[in-house]
Structure 1
Amino acid sequence: MRLLLPLALAIGLLLPTTALHAAAPPAPRSLNGELQGAPWRLDVPTRWNGELVMLAHGYEPVGVPRATPMAAADSTQALLDAGYAVAQSAYSSQGWAVADAVADMERLRQHTLAELKQVRRTWMLGFSMGGAVTVASLEQHPQAYDGGISLCGANLPGEALAEDLLTTLVAFDYFFPKADGLPAGGLVSREAAALPQMALYQGIAAALATRPAAAAQLATRLQVAPDALAGVISLHALVLHELAQRAAGMPAGNLGTVYSGFGDDAAFNAGVQRLQASAAGQAYVRERLALSGTLLKPLVIQFNHDDPTIVPRMQAVYPQQAARAGSAAKLRVLPLAGEGHCGFSGAQVLDALKAAAAR
């Protein structure tokens, strides 16, 4: 034992100090602040893998109170536990803020890269409206990302979205004209835009209950379960009127639209309200909310089972665009997962991210 002790001490003197006293891993970090009116946060885990996820949240109605500092999205912890740093913006405006959000996320990305000096790969991941932010960011800033993931995303160009929303409102007004509790001018009127959201929902729900057969016809055409129909219609009214306010004019019209799938299509087309889009409204959605389908980096898209908000007709739009643009090889649509709107588990979010990394 007396012979072994000096030998052990001698060996210890030859070993680097890190072998005797392993360096403690860096502590997790959480930073927050504001960039040009957009609150943001950055979370870095203890064992950071060198990769950054820019996380884009979904639609936030105008006027909803915001937490200070910005609260983390539900999926943040799962990403941190897997080793990713996560940066997210609350956006500089509320509502259908896709154009603002794209600029806010790009500004935050550049700010984050100044904070994190050794980012190996950067991903864009968005939910719902944030899915549209993700797709638009990949199209507009392909050099900034290694790929993107749109989950339960509203991956529609602004013009297509506005036309879809308008269809919902004029169809409701056709089947339920002058409904009690709703403006005589219908859901497309300025009076409807001024109604509180709960009053709008209650008026729609009450009207649907008066004509179950018409409500069922409308639900089938809109690809929505009957029990979710009132909520979907009120949401479409909220978003379309918010878009019209943002664009300073109605962003869609239907003067030349020939509708189908509403039962007696001849009667529907003869009786449905016709509106003309404003030049300013159309210009806004065509220019500020444009999607081309052109992809230079991999994009993964995934939707949920029985999503009343992003229904099958909406889900098909961007894959068709990408195919027309010759970008089908850059796009992968994963099988449906989870239930409802954005009903993804943390594990499913990570699986979608890994699918993008494998492209």
Structure 2
Amino acid sequence: MLRAFQGLALAAALLLPHVALPAVPRPTPYTTSGELQGARWRLDVPVSWNGELVMLAHGYEPVGVPRPSPMPANDSTAGLLAAGYAVAQSAYASQGWAVADAIDDMERLRVHALSELKDVRRTWILGFSMGGAVAIATLERLPQHYNGGVSLCGANLPGEQLANDLLTTLVAFDYFFPAAEGLPQQGLASAEAAALPQMTLYQGVAAALQAQPAVAAQLATRLQVSTDALPGTISLHAMILHELATRAGGMPVGNLATVYRGFGDDDAFNAGVRRHAAVPLAQRYVRGKLALTGVVNRPLVIQFNNDDPSIVPRMQSVYPQLAEHAGATPSPHVLPRVGEGHCSFTDSQVVEALKAAAAAR
């Protein structure tokens, strides 16, 4: 009889509709992590989550730099969490000037984050340095997924314009210091320079500048950096341009027809400066994959630091002008410069920039 009763109970249970048990709430704060198509990621959620998600895009990471495991949080994560935001960030699948890859990596992560977080009220994208360009390009291409964005200390230039600026730095150095000891005779834009260890290139540039301080000061003024920061700026520009050339399949820009201004005797400079031709395939890469148009229709806040040796004033004005010419609505909101150096923001300044984007809706 007992077995018969158990059988009837089992049959009755099978006929009843399935009732799902309520999901056990995930404790907060919490961190999850994983990998999406070769890009490691992490998602941090605070104790008192405000229902808003910040997609955080990090800056330039040189090729070959060791990547710690597990993926560490960006320095600004703690401040954003304290303000109530959930923060998702990708390490990107590739290192170097990985803007195009990063856009795809961040989009895959956004979709995944929404599968983990329920009832996200608003989503923002916030980027630092190269990540600032990632943030703006994402807002231009995928505006439907975001309420707005923030670019802090961002390299907010179309890829071709950025590469041209980098090339100008290198050929100007070659012109003023044509026989720098320890550096290749073919110049800083050459394959021979690309093969040098970064420290060797930096030391060669620094020694040449130190040997001719008056010429170094003239070059620093034209490039809008201090003389102390000049060796680092030149070697950084060389590293990024060479990495970009590797990624694009050749020199992405040329200066065969460029007429330079502001280098003292401009006639002599233009007659003597080293000339380079662009590789068409590489040129198409920067014009397509790294394009910025100024067509943005989500609130965008831009902010820089004072005396930034990497993103100098001539670079800082580019995107607001693009947006103005494109008739962007709303127009990007450029906050006053704060701090000193490159990407030197306090936690409160990062949060305030994000709040400024929310207020611009």
TM-score of the alignment, normalized to the shorter chain, above 0.5: yes
Q: Hey, what does 2:172 align to over in structure 1?
A: 171
Q: Hey, what does 1:151 align to over in structure 2?
A: 152
Q: Hey, what does 2:212 align to over in structure 1?
A: 211
Q: Hey, what does 1:337 align to over in structure 2?
A: 338
Q: Which amino acid aligns with 1:145?
A: Y
CA contact (8 A) 2:294 2:324 kept: yes
Q: Hey, what does 1:357 align to over in structure 2?
A: 358
1:178-223 CA-partner distances (Å, limit 9, x unpaired): 2100011110110100000000000000011111111111000000
Q: Hey, what does 2:317 align to over in structure 1?
A: 316
Q: Does 1:127 align with 2:128?
A: yes
Q: After the TM superposition, which residues 177-216 of structure 1 pair with which residues of structure 2 at under 5 Å, given as runs?
A: 177-216=178-217
Q: Does 1:40 align with 2:41?
A: yes
CA contact (8 A) 2:294 2:323 kept: yes
Q: Does 1:220 align with 2:214?
A: no
CA contact (8 A) 1:33 1:41 kept: yes
Q: Hey, what does 1:141 align to over in structure 2?
A: 142
CA contact (8 A) 1:178 1:185 kept: no
Q: Percent identity?
A: 72
Q: Hey, what does 2:61 align to over in structure 1?
A: 60
Which 10-residue stretch deviates more, 203-212 or 229-238?
Answer: 203-212
Distance 1:128 1:55 in 2: 12
Q: Which amino acid aligns with 1:107?
A: R
Distance 2:200 2:355 in 1: 43
Distance 1:159 1:190 in 2: 20
1:108-153 CA-partner distances (Å, limit 9, x unpaired): 0000001101100000000000000000000010001000000000
SS at match of 1:252: coil
CA contact (8 A) 2:297 2:330 kept: no
TM (norm. structure 1) is: 0.92
CA contact (8 A) 1:57 1:126 kept: yes
Where does structure 1 differ by over 3 angstroms across 4 or more consecutive aligned residues? none
1:301-350 CA-partner distances (Å, limit 9, x unpaired): 00001101000000010001000100163310000011100000000001
Q: Hey, what does 1:18 align to over in structure 2?
A: none
Alpha-carbon offset, residue 25 of structure 1: 9.8
CA RMSD of aligned residues (A): 1.0
Alpha-carbon offset, residue 68 of structure 1: 1.0
1:57-83 CA-partner distances (Å, limit 9, x unpaired): 000000001111110000000000111
Q: Which amino acid aligns with 1:117?
A: K
CA contact (8 A) 1:178 1:186 kept: no
Q: Which amino acid aligns with 1:326?
A: G
Q: Does 1:278 align with 2:297?
A: no
| Unaligned stretches of 5+ residues in structure 2 | 1-24
| Unaligned stretches of 5+ residues in structure 1 | 1-23
Q: Which amino acid aligns with 1:64?
A: V
CA contact (8 A) 1:42 1:112 kept: yes
TM (norm. structure 2) is: 0.92
